[in-house]
Amino acid sequence: MTITYFITGANRGIGFEFAKQLSADSNNIVIATTRSFTNAAALKELNRTNLIIIEFDLNNSLDLMRKSLQSIENYSVDVVIQNSGIAKDSQKSILQTTEDELREHYAVNAIGSVKVYQSIFPFWSKKANPETPKKLIFITSGAGCVNNFYPMQASHYGVSKAALNYISRHIAFDHKSSDLVHIKNSIVVAVHPGVVETDMSKPLLPYRESFPLPIITPQESAASTITPEESASSIIKLINGLEQKDNDTFISYDGTRHSW
């Protein structure tokens, strides 16, 4: 049975590992996005016939994003992994953070995720595999938790991820009243990928021993990090095992559920 995946931000880090590992299975079709083909050398080097690479930029208007998807109009997407995001210089207090930093992170991590959802929905809502539930995965962060506050300075980044968590929950709520049975029964999940050794997280790593991570996983110590390969592999296993009871939840890469 063929499963079609749509992965944003697939040119590096966790996103690249999603594309690499999922396309290793010839039964999968993987649509991998990058802001620019010039940044997609690693994806191109995979040289896999079941891997489709498209330019898709969250900073573009919704109309331009939709036009970017015209080349995949014949596909029915089963699993969306909204992985794209930014984290720039966020080790600040709210007093120190700037309006521009707030605006930039909210524009990409929150508004950008809404635009991904709105633009891919026509492809994701197509009914194709009756045995395969539609799944929508938002790669978020423990820094966006409100009920169990992430004990570190994450200023504009944490604020934007808290907004993303709300967006994930609202989409799950919206789907409950859908006229399409397969959308009503879809699974929407926010996933914390772990403290991953990526370009985006590098500025955080020197500080990792200064903040405990009690809300993430019991196994994850304050100083622990995982590789993109490990994170993606764990999340793929998680996605494959998702059931209807997992809809509208916040889950860590190792399967641990968390309060929002």
- Which pLDDT tens digit goes with each residue over 178-217? 999 999 999 999 999 998 886 555 555 554 554 444 444 4
What pLDDT is attached to residue 214? 41
Q: What is the mean pLDDT of residues 83-91?
A: 91
Q: Which amino acid is at 134?
A: K
* Mean of the per-residue pLDDT values of the chain: 90
Print the domain residue range for 21: 3-258
Query: How many domains does one find in the chain?
Result: 1
Q: What is the pLDDT of residues 240-255, one digit of tens each?
A: 999 999 999 999 999 9
What pLDDT is attached to residue 150? 63
What pLDDT is attached to residue 200? 55
What pLDDT is attached to residue 198? 65
Residue 36: C-alpha distances to residues 39, 191, 209, 224 (Å): 6, 26, 35, 32
Which residue did the predictor score with more confidence, 152 or 256? 256
Task: For residue 72, give the CATH number of its domain.
Answer: 3.40.50.720
What pLDDT is attached to residue 215? 42
What pLDDT is attached to residue 240? 97
Q: How far apart are CA 189 and CA 182, in angstroms?
A: 16
Report whether 182 contacts 190 (CB < 8 A).
no
What pLDDT is attached to residue 166? 97
First-to-last C-alpha distance (Å) of the chain:
34
Tokens of 21: 């590992």
Residue 190: C-alpha distances to residues 159, 182, 221, 240 (Å): 15, 19, 21, 15
Q: What is the pLDDT of residues 29-80, one digit of tens each?
A: 999 999 999 999 999 999 999 999 999 999 999 999 999 999 999 999 999 9
What pLDDT is attached to residue 206? 55
In degrees, to the nearest 5, what angle opens at C-alpha 235 toward C-alphas 162 and 106?
A: 25
